[in-house]
Structure 1
Amino acid sequence: MRIIEAFVRFSERRRVVILAVAALVAVAGGYGTFRLYADLRPDMSELLPANSRSARDLEALTKRIGGFAELSVVLAGKDPLALQLFADDLDDALKDAPPGLLRWVEYRVDEARDFFKPRLLLFLSREELASLRDTLGARVAWERARQAGKAEGPAPDVEGLVDRIAGERKGLLGKFPSGYVMGEVPGHAPGETMTALAMVIRLDAPPDDYRDVVALERVVKDTVRRLEPEKAGIEVGYGGYVANNILEHDALAEDLVWATILVLLAVAASVVVYNRTWKAVFAVGAPLLVGTFATFGLAEIFVGHLNSNTAFLGSIVVGNGINVGLILFARYLEDRRRGQEPRPAMVTALANTWLATLTAALAAGVSYASLLSTDFRGFNQFGLIGGLGMAFSWLSAYAVTPALVLAWERRAPIPRQGQRPARPIFTYAISAIVERAPRRMVTVAVLLSIASAVMVVRWSRDPIEHDFRRLRDQSALADGGPGWWDQRVDALHGDHLSPTAILARDEGEARAIANALDAHMRATPDTTFGHVLSIAAFVPEGQEAKLPLIRELRALATPENLSFLSPEKRLAIEQVLPPEELRPFGAKDLPDMIRRQLTEVDGRVGTPVLLYPSGRMDVWNGLDVRRFARELRSVPMPRADLPMASSTLVFADVLDAIERDGPRATVLSLLGVVALVLIAFGLGRRSVRSLGDALGVLAALGVGVLWFMGLAGALQLRLNMLNFIALPITFGIGVDYATNIFQRRRVDHAGSVADIVRTTGGAVALCSLTTIIGYSSLLIARNQALISFGLLAVLGEVACLAAALLALPAAMRWRERSRARAAAAQATAQASDHGTRGGTDAQPQP
């Protein structure tokens, strides 16, 4: 107590210095906070461990071949010719885009088709060429014999052989006969179709460079606007990485602003209503502001940016961190309203709250710190910032509040003279239940626990969310959103548009990789692989050896010899017949639209291999995504350390990291909180009496967590990359409430449990309310992952608060009554026994 008295005297004497230092910390931290929030990165790759294979490979590939981040521009209308003309005009106009912003535009295939058609026979094997030559020669001979009436047997099936070979090379012949990536896709109304032309614009910058991402979209949209597509009856939609990334970023930024405003207003209103004075907002809020700005200022130094997991930590830190100041100031205000002078009231408040609030803050900090044990950046960065927030919230509350409040009291008293302590109606109702029906409340708690245990068992069989659509912005998949247009682009191409890039050392290794993938696809009918774009697909081997066979075929395929074919088949064969001067070609001879996709930044051609996911798989389904990743990584490759990266592999690794790191963080959080409570409550000498108190706190926490998980199971809330965090931090934050109840019980030993609920219960409920407000701010977000986190965390708060204010006090009151009855019965028995003995002793002796 002497140390606390000395600290309060020091705070009052040096109040100006303390408040000036706090202001400087707030200003410096505020500058860092502004810089931190200015760098918001919603890309999923920001969540992966920096040393994970996906992250390393993505960085290596981006350096060597650049990024494949794209902006899809989809033109839809009734007139195909108008779509083609507009696409050509847009392509020409985009040539004036600022340098270093746009790599290329993909929307026409006629250049590649015109290049490959006369060279198509070079892609056949020597065996196929020989078979085609022999079959065609036999058919020509059979036709001549038929004209002479000497034909025997059926005609050699040239048509069937040509159809089979053409079918196997459909990609080379081209699926877009118009020369444009255009076709019929599902329309806006069910059962409706529309003609769409897809243009893919590749970003010439790393995908995590958000400024260039925004600049590309702005340039493209401005260019489209100048061309006035509406005059040609053309609807323009946008999709791809760029459009989706910007949508997610803007939604996060907008939600952050509204969430922050709502949290501040709601928390301030709650503090005013409970404490019945507007001065409480400044007494509690100013120290919290210092701690919050210090937290995010340091986060700017240690982390440097926010991701989709940490974006809303400001609201959460405010909602959680304010609890320390609320408990401290509520106790101070209670004693002031009872007539104590400011300095003694502050001494009493500090002495009676520091251990409970420190234990609660450390417990929350331990829960956040447990996330630091993970490699998943979506968890460990959240844990670092949250842990700093809890530490600085406690430090700022106890370092700044005495100086601030005592300085204020010198000018004007904070509570009104004669004002009674706050006793919310809520706590009166709770205390009445605890006082009058403790056994009934305990029975209800036991039944709820049993039901929750059943729900937890069912929920644990499949707890992970695998549908990534439920983690996106709600408007992304709506009609006209980026995800909606992406589905139309995928429908045009048949396979999904985002490839997995595999990088070889040289052309020979690239061919070996492509051959391994092709062999796997032939051996796996239900493969998740789509088509492979590589040097092997566009530059066939052994061209020189094939030329003699091709010349023989050309000599046979004269108009006279092909007269037996239908006009359509004859025209098709004549189009692929090579010119007389046909020569072998290499990678550098390929048309630009093909060559640029197989070229590294330094100009080397032929080393990248691009594997596109099959259109049969759902790239937003985690089970399909993980199957694709496992399948790809199981294919025997020339070497094990081949760099390979894509958004698909990132998704798969995110799910793996959640299942690996989430349970570990949860267990560490639980162990840390248990150890902390045992130390603080089991070894405390002044404010806590025995190990039994610590076990009581942990029992309340256990019941609260069981109810919480039972509610999650009943509502079928699945865990994802963000809301998994709610499990470990619920341990640390949920233990706060039972801790404060037991702490007040030890200090006011003579008071009943119902009295404690009426007094401390109000402050505990207010602490929970502010935390719930912080979490509830996530419920207004458009990002469904954030909504799920907010909902899960709110359920955890409500469950732990109910356990601390209802189940725990009811059990304590029931035990008090039982002991009281037992003591009364024992006293009655003793009195009766004493009376009997006394009556016997009074009888005269014979």
Structure 2
Amino acid sequence: MNTTLLEGPLWRLISFARSNRLVVILFWALMTGLAVWQVATRLAINTDSSDMISPDAPFRVAASKLKAAFPDLEDQVIVVVRAATPDEATAFTEELAARLKEREEVRAILAPPSEPFFQENGLLFLEVSELEDLLARLTNAAPLIERLGPDPSLATLFDALAEAAENDGATTDQETLDALYTQLSEVLTSEDQVLSWQTLLSTGEPPEAQVLFSLDPVLDYTKLKPAKAVKDAILAEADAVRVQTQYVADVLITGEPVLRTEELEAVSSGIGWALGLSGIMVAILLWFAFRSTRLVGACLVTIALSVVLTAGVAVAIFGQLNLISVAFAVLMVGLGADFSIHLLVHIRHERARGLSDRAAAYRTVRMIGTALALTAPTTALAFFSFAPTEFIGMNQLGVIAGLGVLIAFLVAMTLIPAVVRVPAPETPAVSRAPSGLLRIIVWPVGTVVALLGVASLFLLPKARFDADPMALRAKSAPSVIAFDIVVEDEKATPYRLNVLARSEEELRERAAILEQPASVDSTRHLFSFVPEDQDLKLSLIDAASVGLSFALISGGDLGPDLEPALARLQMALRQEESEAAARLGVILDGLSLEAIRASAPRVFKFWPRQREALSRQFRASYVSVEDIPEVIRDRYVTEDGIYRLEILPKGGAVELEDRRRFVNDVLALAPDAAGSARTALAAGDVIGRSMVQASLTAAVLVSLLVLLVTRSVTVLFLLLVPLVLAGSLTTATGTLFGLPYNFANVLVLPLIIGIGIDSGIHLAFRAAKTGDALAAVQGPTGRAVLFSALTTIASFGSLVVSDHRGTASMGALLTVGMLWVLATMLFVLPPLAQLLYGRRRAALREQIA
């Protein structure tokens, strides 16, 4: 194997740096200044995961057409209001929505509880059977509603309940009475409990104590976090509602703009912490490698320059980074140290043998120059193999990391010789590991690792890819908590699809077709907001209003004083047979009159609102498509007559299998369907293909370059076997310990090839030169490989501290991968080389004989 081709140019580069220190320092200072300027003035981060896929992908084309027609659709913000009772959630929402309509950060808002269209016509959207049950419930409660009036008292309520009980529920149905008894018991025994009239006067499943509504935000794309202003506005107005109304409710915000904003915050803070932690850990490892402050400082400077210069080049080329490529900074901490470590370890080793600084540098180039010069382009090629893929996140990181490797090589090969004169150590720099011990350890450990690698191949079919972008986000983030709440609501699930139609006729035809698959729950479009069976429903409402109209306009009954009313109720409750009545009777008997009187504000807190809501509901009138509010029309039809048909999955499509079935069923009937359900699945398929493509491309390109330089199939074999085993072991470990591949860590396998090839080249070349593979592990090459790998592991491992789950999973899986690379290179490659070169020496001896 002829390896002198690269040694001459490398030595001339190092000699130039040694002779022109000032020129080298000024050059890198100028480049660093330009890089800092680029980053400070142009850096932007795109948190939209859909933009990490090529726009030519079919699902992206469909999504682009949908966005062109309805540009604000994917930018909607969802607000979740959660309170102790449905009444408080509704009241809070009405107040909050009214305030947000006045904010400049909100362009439009759709909050059904505060929308007159739904307040007056809500009954028309019930099924006929549901409407009949509700009207019957309200009719039975009419006497109680009439007695209470707009400004009731406990005396009035107790007297009305006593009358109802004495008449065996003739004035109010028993179900309503028992529900009221139960709620009164809870209010009287808890100072925080408020009576829910909305629950009392409803039928079927009790209404949830939460409200979901959406708004169209004004996003400021001139800022790094476009949704921050609207998010802050919502939270500020929520605080104002709490202060001025004394309503108590939690307000959570989600939707793509807010999710991206919080994701960016998590990524930014995570990368910051990871950079700091990796810098500290790398510095500690470098100290153990050199035991020299000067050499550690020199390495840290080259790392810092490599990171800054790579950032400048990245911004100059791409302008904006994404959630994947932004991790290059941490990767460069590990990659930026490799070349400096190998150079300084070997120079220091030669200095310990008594050579001068210049002679030690020359000897180092003679010993490892080809390996050093080859690792830069091979690693860069491995990263550049990401570029042809459809996954722009991987594509961008590959280009940045590939250029970063070349930059780190140039910095190390020029700045280190220019600024560092390696002193001769007082004692030998490195004590060689005992050869006998190595021969005892390497073979058995290598055999075990190799067997594990072979066994791991059988787990590869079980490896999975998590295609859900939400798997990348921190579970504790408020927007993710809110998203999980939204997902639980089948009618609000974000996993839906949309198709476009150019006429009402086409819209209705497509709706009829797309409602057929079993995985589809329903479809929704503009005409869905025109209720069905309106004539029948209005007649039912008119009939019920005859008995309820007077009750709702009545001024109420003043009733007796509280004490006689309480006594009458206590007597009546003793005659009741229900458990709810008995429990209320026991509670009333045990409370003082003052304690009972103090509960009045909590009993009637939301009664006036409920009474007014009932009055509005009975004003329902015939609804036509012209009556649909503009805020709804804008979401379902464009000005030029393009209609949007929304397709909702059965069960919300929360589980991946259900989502895939839903998407496949819809696409079979409507190939142009677009939406988050399709985007997540299709993106996963694209990224899976990209991972395989990048891995194979990296392996092929690296192999060709190694063959071109070394012209040795043996060396190539020594490099590829450990890398294949490391990749398989990494995937198997992730499968066993719940670390699936996802949008962020999918590039682990190509990275293992790109980074792991460095160690393999140094060890394989050393073994080829000496014919003794253990000598490579035993001497300075093995030490440099060890500390280079450890610094890389330290930098990758620091990503685990990120709050962003995607970034953290990347750090975890990369750490696992590099540990396996280290194990295969140090324990599998040497025995394999020993076998190969041992046979070669035996063959030579036979020829001589």
Helix, strand or coil at the partner of 1:103 = strand
Equivalent residue for 1:617, pick from 640, 644, 652: 652
Deviation, 1:769, is: 0.6
1:616: how far off?
A: 0.3
Match of 1:203 in 2: 217
Instruction: Check conservation: 1:449, 1:706, Cα contact below 8 A.
Output: yes
Aligned counterpart in structure 2 of residue 803 of structure 1, from 798, 806, 824: 824
SS at match of 2:226: helix
Cα RMSD, aligned residues only: 4.2
Contact 2:270 2:801 in 1 (8 A): yes
Distance 2:740 2:252 in 1: 33
Aligned to 2:479: 482
Structure 1 residues 493 and 671 mapped into 2: Cα distance closer, same or farther (>3 Å)? closer
Task: Report the CA distance between 1:354 and its aligned residue.
Answer: 3.0
- RCO higher in structure (CA 8 A, sep ≥6): 2
Aligned-pair distance for 1:475?
1.4
User: Would you say the 8 A contact 1:499–1:611 is kept in 2?
Assistant: yes
More displaced stretch, 257-266 vs 738-747: 738-747
Q: Is the partner of 2:212 in helix, strand or coil?
A: strand
**SS of the residue 2:329 aligns to:** helix
Equivalent residues of 1:438, 1:811 under 8 A apart: no
Q: Provide the rounded CA distance (Å) in 2 between the counterparts of 1:5 and 1:328.
A: 12
| 1:378 Cα deviation from its structure 2 partner | 1.8
The alignment partner of 1:428 has SS state of coil
Gaps of 5+ in 2: 1-6, 129-196, 553-613
1:318 alignment counterpart: 333
Aligned to 2:491: 494
Alignment of 1:347-746 (within 5 A): 347-405=362-420, 409=421, 414-415=422-423, 417-423=425-431, 428=433, 432-436=436-440, 439-452=443-456, 456-466=457-467, 470-476=471-477, 481-491=478-488, 494-497=491-494, 500-504=497-501, 506=502, 508=503, 510-521=504-515, 523-524=516-517, 526-534=518-526, 536-538=527-529, 585=624, 587-600=625-638, 603-604=639-640, 606-614=641-649, 616-619=651-654, 621-636=655-670, 645-682=674-711, 690-746=712-768
1:28 aligned residue = 34
Change in CA separation of 1:656 and 1:117 when aligned onto 2, cut-off 3 Å: same
CA positional deviation for 1:4: 5.3
1:16 is aligned to 2:30: no
- Per the TM alignment, residue 116 of structure 1 is displaced from its structure 2 partner at its CA by 5.7
Query: Does the 8 A contact of 1:779 with 1:787 survive in 2?
Result: yes
Q: CA deviation at 1:2?
A: 6.1
CA–CA separation in structure 2 for the residues paired with 1:593 and 1:183: 30
Structure 2 residue matching 1:72: 3-state secondary structure: strand
Q: Give runs of aligned pairs for residues 104-123 of structure 1, distance below 5 A.
A: 104-108=109-113, 111-113=116-118
Supply the AA of the counterpart residue of 2:519.
T
SS in structure 2 of the partner of residue 418 of structure 1 = coil
The C-alpha deviation readout for 1:750-806, integer Å capped at 9, x for no partner, is 877246523211100011011111211221122222232222222221222112212
1:527 is aligned with what amino acid?
S
* Separation of aligned partners in 2, 1:397 and 1:554: 81
Indicate the SS of the match to 1:771: helix
The 5-angstrom pairing of residues 107-186 of structure 1 reads 107-108=112-113, 111-113=116-118
Change (3 A) 1:419 1:751: farther
CA distance in 1, matches of 2:668, 2:247: 50
The 5 A counterparts of 1:147-296 are 195-205=209-219, 211-228=225-242, 231-296=246-311
Give the secondary-structure state (helix, strand or coil) at the position aligned to 1:609: strand
Q: Please tell me whether residue 788 in structure 1 is matched to residue 809 in structure 2.
A: yes
1:144 aligns with none
The two structures have a TM-score, normalised by structure 2, of 0.74
2:429 match: secondary structure = coil
1:417–1:382 Cα change, 3 Å: closer
Structure-1 residue corresponding to 2:589: none
Aligned residue number for residue 774 of structure 2: 753
Does the C-alpha gap of structure 1 residues 441 and 498 become closer, same or farther in structure 2, counting only changes over 3 Å?
closer
Q: Distance in 1 between matches of 2:783 and 2:347?
A: 14
Cα distance in 2 for partners of 1:675, 1:726 equals 22
> Offset at 1:16?
0.6
Aligned partner of 1:597: which letter?
Answer: R
Gap change, CA 1:614 and 1:440, over 3 Å in 2: closer
What displacement does 1:651 show?
A: 1.0
Matched residues in 1 for 2:125 and 2:90: separation?
A: 26
Distance 1:558 1:742 in 2: 86
Looking at structure 2, the residues matched to 378 and 239 of structure 1 have their Cα atoms a distance apart, in angstroms, of: 24
Q: Distance in 2 between matches of 1:15 and 1:183?
A: 85
CA contact (8 A) 1:495 1:531 kept: no
CA contact (8 A) 1:67 1:204 kept: no
Q: Secondary structure at the match of 1:611?
A: strand
Secondary structure in 2 aligned to 1:235?
strand
- How far residue 331 of structure 1 moved from its aligned partner, in angstroms, is 1.4
| Local SS of the residue matching 2:116 | helix
The equivalent of 2:161 in structure 1 is: none
Does the 8 A contact of 2:104 with 2:218 survive in 1?
no
**Equivalent residue of 2:259, what SS?**
helix
Task: Find the residue that maps to 1:371 and give its secondary structure.
Answer: coil
What secondary structure sits across from 1:650 in the alignment? helix
CA drift of 1:211 comes to: 3.5
How far did residue 367 of structure 1 move?
1.7
**CA spacing shift, 1:490–1:332, aligned 2, 3 Å:** closer
Whether the 8 Å contact between 1:438 and 1:813 is mirrored in structure 2 is no
Q: Deviations over 1:300-358 (max 9, x none)?
A: 12222222212211111221232112111221222223222222222233343332123
Whether contact under 8 Å (1:363, 1:733) holds in the other structure is no
User: 1:768 and 1:616 mapped to 2: Cα distance?
Assistant: 48
Contact persistence 2:695–2:750 (CA under 8 A): yes
Contact 1:77 1:233 in 2 (8 A): yes
Q: Match for 2:528: what amino acid?
A: A
Secondary structure, aligned partner of 1:717: coil
8 Å Cα contact 1:365/1:387 also seen in 2: yes
Match in the other structure for 1:300: 315
Residue identity (%): 20
Partner of residue 359, structure 2: 344
Aligned to 1:136: none
SS at 1:460 equivalent: helix
Deviation, structure 1 residue 611: 1.1
Q: 2:122, 2:476 → 1: CA distance?
A: 43
* 1:44-83 to 2 correspondences below 5 Å: 44-68=49-73, 69-83=75-89
Structure 1 residue runs of 5 or longer lacking an equivalent are 125-176, 187-192, 683-689, 831-846
